[in-house]
Amino acid sequence: MKLILGAIAIATSLAAVNGANASCLQGYMFGVWSAYAVGLNFSGPFSVRCTLTLDQSGKVIPAYSACIQSGGQNAGATGNITLISSGMCAFNGVIYTGGSTAEITQATLTENGQVAIGVGTLSHGAFAFSMAKVH
């Protein structure tokens, strides 16, 4: 009986570890995302909110993507997001909008592929962002 209970305990532990090590796929980026960023550049603090539509490869689809800057200016969006570590669900990328280049230097996607958070740089500043998949 102790042997059976021990085997069950080991199997349960292995299942828990295996679940904790679930990996992400590049295809998880596919869909429509609401993204929000706050940061600081040479002009001072800023915020940006975007709707980003990504294809299976992580490329931003410009016809269905746009951003609104803190001053209310609307701008299109292009770029790409690339999974760099499936085990850590880590990604990086670049978003071009309103004449600015936002380089995502480190970001993490949740295991279920629905939420992401990260940080990045601009030519004269830095930002933090979050994204939620809406479709």
Instruction: Look up the CATH number of the domain holding residue 60.
Output: 2.40.128.120
CB atoms within 10 A of CB 20: 8
Is residue 40 domain-resident? yes
In tens, the pLDDT along 13-63 reads 333 333 455 699 999 999 999 999 999 999 899 999 999 999 999 999 999
Is residue 5 domain-resident? no
Is residue 12 domain-resident? no
Q: What global pTM score does this model have?
A: 0.81
The per-residue b/e assignment along 53-73, b for 16 or more CB within 10 angstroms, e otherwise, is bbeeebbbeeeebbbbbeeee
Are 120 and 126 in contact, with CB atoms under 8 Å apart?
Answer: yes
Amino acid at 101: T
Q: What is the mean pLDDT of residues 110-134?
A: 96
Is residue 34 domain-resident? yes
* Domains identified in the chain, total number: 1
Is residue 75 domain-resident? yes
Query: What is the residue-averaged pLDDT of the chain?
Result: 86
Q: What is the residue range of 58's domain?
A: 24-133
Is residue 96 domain-resident? yes
Is residue 116 domain-resident? yes
In tens, the pLDDT along 79-113 reads 999 999 999 999 999 999 988 999 999 999 999 99
96 DSSP assignment: E
